[in-house]
Amino acid sequence: MLAARRVLQASIYMKTWLIAALLVRPAPAIQASGSEAPRKADSVIGEVTALDLSSRRLTVKTDPGAPVEVRADEKTIFLKARPGSSTLNDATPARLEELAVGDRVLARGRLAEDKASLAARQVVVMTRGDLSAKQDAERAQWRRRGILGVVSAVDPARGEITLQARRPGGAQATVIATGEGVRFRRYASDSVKFSDAGPSALAEVRVGDQLRALGDRSEDGSRFVPEQIVFGTFRTLAGTVARVDPAGGELTVRDEESGQPVRVAVGADARLRRIPAELGARMGRWREGPGTGGGPPGGAPEDLLERLPSTTLAEVKPGDRVLVSSTKGSDPSRINAIALVAGLEALAAPRMAGGRGTRGGDTELPPDLMDLGISIP
């Protein structure tokens, strides 16, 4: 699942870079026969899934999902681009032999009529290793300079957002002072992919949204100056698994708040984790404070999900108690899981976000588990 997330994150770099690259260095026109006017080159972008060096062909799984065979010849120009660069000005010459399965490429040339193959005039590659290194560095930045919480107030006139960052013992209010140059992105409804998050603005932020920002915090933690803001309207569902369909990628959960069954689609991009019994006992004592042996393992609280052991849908069984996060969609009886945590039976019965208790319990989940929606971009 981590590999799948990295592919999704890589698509963001490539798409942004593609737009800039096409503007800075126009694709060569393709000579048309007869009286037809020349047209600009077609392009495909995606991940290399197969290479045949002898025939100078590579198979690219495009971002929409369809495979395209890219055919190179001796005149095809290969370039290696640096992840994060907005132009091809610092790209370096490359060779077909340097490409590897898992690399991201932009191929430009002429698509066949059936769009199943492309005769390439230019192939630009971002290697899997370079992308991974950049993503690791950026994730480290979000952990070190990021903040995560729930929006409690929005002041458009002053350009400020008040964020409640949940912590054991209570929530800390932080004012996020937005200004010119701040990049806003909003998770799309019914989507679990960060790559589907679209450009947004302060005017779209609502009370109750989950929000993650990258920037600089004041010494006392009361104010935060952001560079990037990612937010979305999320739904957190706690309940007992009634049915599991691993082949269909779906399970049915009885919502502990409404008592109604909810179908949960669990795709390849969803993050599935399980709370081990021993960790559950520690987390169940999170409110007792330091020195009591309670709370999650070391690290930033909002990264708890990343530190839990992975699981699979096949390992989730009827009767398991789970917590599911999703964006709010149009059908409350069906959701797409962004994250699913099994093993809640190791904890006391949860209280839902906003202070509403679930059936049969009067204690709260550790706040770390209530902010499952927004992963580190």
Q: Are 27 and 40 in contact (CB under 8 A)?
A: yes
CATH class of the domain defined by 10-134:
mainly beta
User: Residue 231 is encoded by which pair of tokens?
Assistant: 């937010």
What is the chain's pLDDT, residue by residue, as a tens digit (377 residues)?
444 455 445 555 555 444 344 433 444 555 544 555 566 789 999 999 999 999 999 999 998 788 999 999 999 999 999 887 778 888 899 999 999 999 999 999 999 999 999 999 999 999 999 888 888 888 889 889 988 888 999 999 999 999 987 665 567 899 999 999 999 999 877 665 666 778 999 999 999 888 999 999 998 889 999 999 999 888 888 999 999 999 999 999 999 989 999 999 998 878 899 988 776 666 655 544 544 445 444 444 455 667 788 999 999 999 999 999 888 777 889 998 888 999 888 775 444 444 343 333 333 444 444 445 556 66
Q: What is the pLDDT of residues 217-248, one digit of tens each?
A: 998 889 999 999 999 888 888 999 999 999 99
Would you state the pLDDT for residue 15? 53
d(CA 139, CA 375): 10
User: Residue 70 is encoded by which pair of tokens?
Assistant: 């890219």
Same CATH fold assignment for domains 145-232 and 235-370 = yes
What is the residue whose two structure tokens read 């987390």? Answer: 283
CATH class of the domain defined by 235-370:
mainly beta
d(CA 158, CA 175): 11
- Closest Cα partner for 94 from 48, 136, 39? 48
- What CATH number is given for 145-232 in this structure? 2.40.50.320
Write down the pTM of the prediction.
Answer: 0.62
Would you state the pLDDT for residue 314? 94
Would you state the pLDDT for residue 100? 94
Domain boundaries, the chain: 10-134, 145-232, 235-370
Would you state the pLDDT for residue 106? 93
Would you state the pLDDT for residue 89? 85
